[in-house]
C-alpha cells in the first residue's frame, strides 16, 4: 500500500511560506522606509543646523551728508541699533512679549500674537532705531540671548529741524529718499550695503568669518548745496511772520545770485519737520517755489517791456497815453487803477499801467508775446532738479486771441512758478543774460562741479537790461507802486504784482482771492542778490496787494541777506535821487 501525502501538511507548508515571505517583505518595507526617513530627516536637520550656524550679515552703508555752500551741516546720519527677535528660539512667547513690550512701547498681547505667527522664522523686527538707553535696558533683561539681537542701522538727523525741509526732503524708515535732494540723489547718498558670511555657535557668538564671500560696503557720498544756511534761516523767519500776520493758504520765497544762478535760499509755507512724521501733510509737503503755479500779474510787465525794447518796437523815449483810465481793444475795455494821460515808457512800469502795457502788446503782436514767454523760460522746467517741478502753463499760440494781446502783458492767461519768475528777472539783473538756476555745487567724490552743466543764454542787450533795472524798476520803490515800502535808503529795484485767483464756482476771477508778489534786487549797479516773495490768498486784513503783503517781507530778506555779505550795513549803497 503506497503512502499518500497529507493534504493538510502541504497546506500548512504553503501558508507558512506565504507568511514568511510576507514578514520578509514587511520588514523590507520597514527597512527601506527607515533608510529613507533617516536620509530625509538627516538632510533636513543638516540644512537647519547649517542655517542656524551660518549667517549672511548685512553691513549697513552710512548715508552721505548734505552741506550748505559754507560746509554747514544740513543732514547727516547717526549710528543707531535696531532690535529684532528670533521667534524659533523663543520657548515662551507670552513671557517674552510681556518682558520686552513695555520697553519698546508695544502692547504685550499684540506682540505675542505677532511672534506666534512667525514662530518658524529666524528674524522678526521688534523696533527700528531705538534709543541707546533702551538698548542697554533690554540687554539687562533676563531673556535668553539667542532669542533676540541688535542690528546696526543709521538714523537720519537734521540738526536744523524743519529748516530747508522742502529742499532736503527726508529718508523713510527703510532709508529711501523721499522728496528734495534726498530723493534726487538717493543712490549717491545712500551708498551700497556690504555683506559678510559668519558662522555662529549656539550662543550666537561669531566663531568663523568666510572672508572670500564678503562684499565691501560703499558708504554714501556728500552733497554740497548752493544754499546759505544763514540766509535760509532769515528767509524762513520772514515767511513765518507773513503766515502769522496775513494767514494765507501758503507763501514762498527764493533768493539767488543773478550772475551765477546759485540759489541761496528757497522756502515754502506751510512746512514740515523731516524728523517728525506727525508734521507731514499734503499742504506741508508742497514746495510752492516749484510745485505750485499762479498768474504772475504785474511782475510780468518789466519782462515784456525789455523784450519790446530788444525787438526795437519801443525805445526808452517812447510815449504812451493812458486814455484817462479806459482803453478799448476790440470788444474789450481795459481799465487802470487811476486815470492816466500821457506816459513815458518808464512811467508805464512805474505806475503799472495795464493800458500802457496793452499798447506794447499790440506792437509786439501775439506772436511776439509768445516768443517773449518762451525766451524767458515760461512753460518749461527751470532744470533746478527738485522733484515734482512744474512747467507752469502757456497756451499754444494758435489758441490765443485778441484778449491775449492785452492780457499777457499784464501777467494774465498764463501761470508760472515762483522760481521761473525769479530767474526771468535774474536775467534782467544779469545784464540780459539768462542763467539756469543751480542748487548743487558738488555731488559726491567727483572733482567737477555742477556749474559746467548750467545753461547760459543772452536774451536782452546789456544796455537795455540795465536801463529797465536802473530806471523804472528802481523808481517803482521811490515813485510808484512800491513807494510805501521802507527801503531804508538802500539802492533797491523791484516790481509789485497782484493777481486775482480764478474761482471755478463763479466761472470767473474771484473778487476777494488774490496772489500777492514782489520781486526785488540789490544794488541797481551790478546786482548781487534778487528775491521773489509770493503769498497765496491772504485772509487777514483788507488791503491784499503785493506792495503791502509781499513787498515788506521781501525787502527785509534782501536787506538782511545783503548785510550778511557786507559787514558795515551803514556803508551799503544809497538810492541815487
- Predicted structure pTM score: 0.82
Do 531 and 492 fall into the same domain?
yes
Q: Which H/E stretch holds residue 445?
A: none
pLDDT digits (tens, 9 = 90+) for 99-126: 899 999 999 999 989 998 988 888 888 9
Do 322 and 252 fall into the same domain?
yes
Higher per-residue confidence, 134 vs 14? 134
Do 433 and 353 fall into the same domain?
yes
CA atoms within 13 A on the CB side of 197: 9
In this structure, is residue 383 part of a structural domain? yes
In this structure, is residue 35 part of a structural domain? no
Most confident by average pLDDT, 53-62, 310-319, 478-487, 541-550: 310-319
CATH code assigned at 202: 3.90.1310.10
Do 338 and 473 fall into the same domain?
yes
pLDDT at 499: 95
Residue 455 binned pLDDT confidence (cut-offs 50, 70, 90): confident
CATH code assigned at 288: 3.40.710.10
In this structure, is residue 37 part of a structural domain? no
pLDDT digits (tens, 9 = 90+) for 125-137: 898 888 888 888 9
Query: Residue range 242-254: average pLDDT?
Result: 97
Task: Please state which of the ranges 67-81, 133-147, 416-430, 468-482 shows the lowest mean pLDDT.
Answer: 133-147
Domain around 193: 59-225
Task: Look at strands 73-85 and 54-59 and give their pairing.
Answer: unpaired
pLDDT at 454: 77
Confirm if 490 and 574 have CB atoms less than 8 A apart: yes
Confirm if 557 and 533 have CB atoms less than 8 A apart: yes
Do 431 and 538 fall into the same domain?
yes
pLDDT at 37: 62
pLDDT of 47 above 60: no
Do 502 and 377 fall into the same domain?
yes
In this structure, is residue 19 part of a structural domain? no
Q: Hey, CA dihedral for 536, 542, 546, 547, is it positive or negative?
A: negative
pLDDT at 504: 86
pLDDT at 577: 31
How far is the C-alpha of 240 from the C-alpha of 270, rounded, in Å?
Answer: 9
Do 244 and 392 fall into the same domain?
yes
In this structure, is residue 172 part of a structural domain? yes
Say how many C-beta atoms besides its own lie within 10 A of residue 122's C-beta.
15
pLDDT digits (tens, 9 = 90+) for 364-387: 999 999 999 999 999 999 999 899
Do 295 and 154 fall into the same domain?
no
Do 175 and 260 fall into the same domain?
no
Query: Residue range 489-510: average pLDDT?
Result: 91
Report the SS3 class of residue 342. strand
Report the SS3 class of residue 571. helix
CA angle 375, 380, 385 (to 5 degrees): 125
Q: Which H/E stretch holds residue 438?
A: none
How many structural domains compose the chain?
A: 2
Confirm if 440 and 448 have CB atoms less than 8 A apart: no
pLDDT at 1: 47
How far is the C-alpha of 391 from the C-alpha of 315, rounded, in Å?
Answer: 32
Say how many C-beta atoms besides its own lie within 10 A of residue 89's C-beta.
17
pLDDT of 432 above 50: yes
How far is the C-alpha of 169 from the C-alpha of 252, rounded, in Å?
Answer: 16
Query: Residue range 413-437: average pLDDT?
Result: 98
pLDDT digits (tens, 9 = 90+) for 199-221: 655 555 555 455 555 788 899 99
Task: Please state which of the ranges 192-206, 217-231, 505-519, 558-572 shows the lowest mean pLDDT.
Answer: 192-206
CB burial of residue 212 (10 Å; 0-12, 13-18, 19+) = exposed
In this structure, is residue 518 part of a structural domain? yes
pLDDT at 576: 35
In this structure, is residue 373 part of a structural domain? yes
Confirm if 203 and 415 have CB atoms less than 8 A apart: no
pLDDT of 573 above 90: no
Do 478 and 426 fall into the same domain?
yes
Do 489 and 346 fall into the same domain?
yes
Mean confidence (pLDDT) of the chain = 88
Which residue, 369, 378, 379, is CA-closest to 405? 369
Task: Please state which of the ranges 158-162, 188-192, 443-447 shows the lowest mean pLDDT.
Answer: 443-447
If you write DSSP's letter for every residue of 361-383 in order, what string do you get?
Answer: HHHHHHHHHHHHHHHTTTTS--S
pLDDT digits (tens, 9 = 90+) for 515-530: 999 999 999 999 999 9
Do 216 and 249 fall into the same domain?
no
Residue 45 binned pLDDT confidence (cut-offs 50, 70, 90): low
Report the SS3 class of residue 231. helix
Higher per-residue confidence, 372 vs 449? 372
Amino acid at each position: 500500500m503506497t503512502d499518500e501525502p497529507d493534504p493538510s501538511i502541504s497546506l500548512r507548508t504553503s501558508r507558512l511560506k506565504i507568511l514568511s515571505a510576507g514578514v520578509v517583505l514587511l520588514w523590507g518595507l520597514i527597512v527601506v522606509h527607515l533608510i529613507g526617513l533617516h536620509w530625509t530627516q538627516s538632510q533636513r536637520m543638516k540644512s537647519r543646523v547649517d542655517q542656524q550656524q551660518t549667517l549672511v550679515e548685512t553691513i549697513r552703508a552710512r548715508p552721505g551728508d548734505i552741506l550748505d555752500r559754507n560746509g554747514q551741516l544740513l543732514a547727516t546720519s547717526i549710528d543707531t541699533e535696531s532690535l529684532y527677535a528670533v521667534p524659533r528660539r523663543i520657548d515662551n512667547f507670552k513671557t517674552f512679549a510681556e518682558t520686552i513690550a513695555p520697553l519698546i512701547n508695544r502692547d504685550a498681547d499684540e506682540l505675542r500674537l505677532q511672534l506666534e505667527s512667525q514662530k518658524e522664522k529666524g528674524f522678526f523686527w521688534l523696533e527700528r532705531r531705538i534709543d541707546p538707553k533702551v538698548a542697554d535696558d533690554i540687554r539687562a533683561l533676563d531673556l535668553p540671548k539667542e532669542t533676540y539681537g541688535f542690528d546696526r542701522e543709521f538714523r537720519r538727523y537734521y540738526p536744523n529741524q524743519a529748516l530747508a525741509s522742502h529742499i532736503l526732503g527726508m529718508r523713510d524708515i527703510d532709508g529711501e529718499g523721499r522728496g528734495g535732494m534726498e530723493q534726487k540723489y538717493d543712490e549717491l547718498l545712500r551708498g551700497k550695503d556690504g555683506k559678510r558670511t559668519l558662522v555662529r555657535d549656539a550662543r550666537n557668538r561669531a566663531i568663523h568669518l568666510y572672508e572670500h564671500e564678503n562684499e565691501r560696503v560703499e558708504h554714501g557720498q556728500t552733497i554740497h548745496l548752493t544754499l546759505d544756511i544763514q540766509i535760509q534761516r532769515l528767509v524762513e523767519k520772514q515767511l513765518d511772520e507773513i503766515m502769522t500776520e496775513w494767514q494765507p493758504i501758503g507763501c514762498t520765497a527764493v533768493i539767488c545770485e543773478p550772475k551765477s544762478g546759485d540759489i541761496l535760499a528757497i522756502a515754502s509755507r506751510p512746512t514740515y519737520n523731516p524728523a517728525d512724521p506727525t508734521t507731514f501733510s499734503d499742504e506741508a509737503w508742497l514746495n510752492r517755489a516749484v510745485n505750485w503755479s499762479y498768474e504772475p500779474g504785474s511782475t510780468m510787465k518789466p519782462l515784456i517791456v525789455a523784450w519790446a525794447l530788444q525787438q526795437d518796437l519801443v525805445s526808452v523815449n517812447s510815449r504812451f497815453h493812458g486814455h484817462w483810465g479806459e482803453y478799448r481793444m476790440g470788444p474789450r475795455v481795459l481799465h487802470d487803477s487811476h486815470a492816466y494821460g500821457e506816459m513815458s515808457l518808464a512811467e508805464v512800469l512805474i505806475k503799472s499801467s495795464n493800458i500802457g502795457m496793452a499798447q506794447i502788446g499790440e506792437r509786439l503782436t501775439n506772436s511776439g508775446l509768445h516768443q517773449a514767454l518762451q525766451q524767458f523760460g515760461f512753460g518749461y522746467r527751470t532744470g533746478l532738479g527738485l522733484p515734482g517741478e512744474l512747467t507752469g502753463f502757456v497756451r499754444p499760440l494758435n489758441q490765443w486771441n485778441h484778449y491775449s494781446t492785452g492780457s499777457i502783458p499784464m501777467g494774465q492767461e498764463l501761470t508760472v512758478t515762483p522760481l521761473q519768475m525769479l530767474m526771468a528777472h535774474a536775467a534782467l539783473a544779469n545784464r540780459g543774460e539768462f542763467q539756469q538756476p543751480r542748487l548743487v555745487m558738488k555731488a559726491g567724490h567727483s572733482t567737477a562741479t555742477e556749474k559746467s552743466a548750467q545753461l547760459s543764454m543772452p536774451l536782452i542787450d546789456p544796455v537795455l537790461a540795465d536801463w529797465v533795472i536802473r530806471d523804472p524798476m528802481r523808481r517803482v520803490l521811490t515813485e510808484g507802486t512800491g513807494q510805501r515800502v521802507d527801503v531804508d535808503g538802500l539802492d533797491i529795484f523791484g516790481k509789485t504784482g497782484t493777481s486775482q485767483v480764478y474761482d471755478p464756482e463763479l466761472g470767473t476771477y474771484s473778487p476777494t482771492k488774490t496772489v500777492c508778489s514782489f520781486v526785488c534786487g540789490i544794488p541797481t549797479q551790478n546786482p548781487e542778490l534778487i528775491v521773489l516773495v509770493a503769498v497765496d490768498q491772504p485772509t487777514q486784513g483788507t488791503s491784499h496787494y503785493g506792495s503791502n503783503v509781499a513787498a515788506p517781507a521781501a525787502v527785509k530778506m534782501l536787506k538782511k541777506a545783503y548785510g550778511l555779505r557786507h559787514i558795515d550795513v551803514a556803508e551799503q549803497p544809497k538810492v541815487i535821487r
